[in-house]
Amino acid sequence: MKNQRASGTFMIVQGTSLLKNSLYVLLFLLLVFAISGLLTALKPGYRPVSSSVNQAANVISGKMLYQLMGWENHHFLSVSKDLETSPKLTNLVFKLSTNINLNDPRSLLGRELPGFYQFDGQIVVAGEGTNYTNMPIESAPPVEIMKAEREASLQNVESLNQAKPKETLPPPKQTTGGRKVVYLYFTHNRESYLPYLKGVTDPNLAYHSQINVTKVGDEIQARLAENGIAAEVDKTDIMGKTTMPKTYQESGKEVQAALASNHDLKYLIDIHRDSRRKPQTTVEINGQSYAKIAFVIGGKNPNYEKNLKLATDLHNLIKKKYGDGLSRGVIVKQEPGSNGVYNQNLSDKAILIEFGGVDNTFDELDRSADALADAFSEYYWQAEKVNQGTNQPASPQ
């Protein structure tokens, strides 16, 4: 009898323990589902992102998944001869576990060398001479240079204040009817150019509150108007209102306010200046010097694909009209150390454009601004024909 009671007691304890463990597992699963649901319900801009997981996922291509299926069912491999060669499992495991690609030294050096992350962008479309050694880079100004009272004196600005002779042009065949459809703004509005800063030779000090990249926006606006496209230029002093790491957050507020007050705005263009020197940012076309431009797209926003297509179409159209060299290409940035969004989550027609570098002059910049406006105008009116239901192509081929 004692043995039976002891055995019965033992079974009761085990049953209670099993019930508790089952309850814990159930609660854990409910918690996992609840957290997963919460994360997926968040807007894309607020979702936590793991660059390591993202990079690991990018390693596995559709072809590779198909090959893995073929290891289990060899019939899949008989569909295409290109799939007969299996991927090297050791290389795949190494990439997935370390996120290091032996064919791309940047994947290793970027973790070891300070500042090397600036070369982590992906060149989707390369202009003539563009490679990973001369991609656009941004240099943050020292804190003191952000203060107006520490600005450099200006030089060579006499010609900037003179009104340019206007060429008599026929009125545009079509217009937006006064509706402003393009929004030009400047997240780093004080980015300036060394030829106009007296005594300044350090690219990291090329900043000024008056003579800066915002003048490029004025030129684009004027040329777009000649083609019947009205644009709004927002010269809000973003860099004077906040610190460098928060500039995109601050300019995003301005963009959202503009979109809320004007529902006609369709295209958002954030204009910047590269920190590269003149050999990498200047090209000669028909005997005249132009400041090169570069398109930058953030890879961490839901509009990534459409914005990338817009930038690629504009690059191709500029190449068609002005030859190789003016556009440095289309670069996607989404790695740690880069913003990766650039307010392009606010529209599927949003791009960032780098105009020239620290050594370029406004004569060179204005020519490039005119070229961009010319290409954009052609793109815009083609797209409008499509929107009106015609059979015209939406973008240059």
Output the pLDDT for position 57: 53
Output the pLDDT for position 172: 87
- Is the CB of residue 291 less than 8 Å from the CB of residue 360? yes
Whether the model pTM is above 0.75: no
Which sign, positive or negative, has the C-alpha torsion 169, 175, 179, 184? Answer: negative
Output the pLDDT for position 393: 45
Which residues are paired to 284 by β-bridges?
Answer: 289
Output the pLDDT for position 72: 67
Cα angle, residue 64 at apex, residues 32 and 330 outer, rounded to 5°: 90
For the chain, how long is the longest CA-to-CA vector?
A: 115
Could you tell me the two tokens for 62? Answer: 């559709």
Task: Please list, residue by residue across 141-152, b when 16 or more beta carbons sit within 10 angstroms of its beta carbon and e when fewer do.
Answer: beeebbeeeebb
Domains of the chain by residue range: 2-36, 51-103, 143-387
- Is the CB of residue 298 less than 8 Å from the CB of residue 304? yes
Output the pLDDT for position 371: 97
Output the pLDDT for position 316: 96
CATH number of the structural domain 143-387: 3.40.630.40
Output the pLDDT for position 254: 97
How far is the C-alpha of 191 from the C-alpha of 210, rounded, in Å? 10
Output the pLDDT for position 392: 44
Could you tell me the two tokens for 383? Answer: 């797209």
311: amino acid identity, one letter: A
How far is the C-alpha of 271 from the C-alpha of 214, rounded, in Å? 8
Output the pLDDT for position 244: 86
Q: Which ranges constitute the DSSP H helices of the chain?
A: 2-41, 51-59, 62-72, 89-98, 106-112, 214-226, 238-241, 247-261, 278-281, 304-322, 362-387
How far is the C-alpha of 295 from the C-alpha of 312, rounded, in Å? 8
How far is the C-alpha of 95 from the C-alpha of 100, rounded, in Å? 5
Task: Please list, residue by residue across 114-140, b when 16 or more beta carbons sit within 10 angstroms of its beta carbon and e when fewer do.
Answer: eeebbbbbebbbbbeebeeebbbbbbe
Output the pLDDT for position 16: 73
18: amino acid identity, one letter: L
Query: pLDDT in tens for each of the 397 residues of the chain?
Result: 445 454 444 455 566 777 888 888 888 888 888 887 776 665 544 555 444 455 555 555 566 666 667 766 766 666 555 554 555 556 656 555 555 555 555 555 554 444 544 455 677 777 777 766 666 776 666 655 555 456 778 888 888 877 666 677 788 889 999 899 999 999 999 999 999 999 999 998 999 999 999 999 999 999 999 999 999 999 999 999 998 889 999 999 999 999 999 999 999 999 999 999 999 999 999 999 999 999 999 988 889 899 999 999 999 999 999 998 999 999 998 765 567 899 999 999 999 999 999 999 999 999 999 999 999 999 999 999 887 765 444 444 4
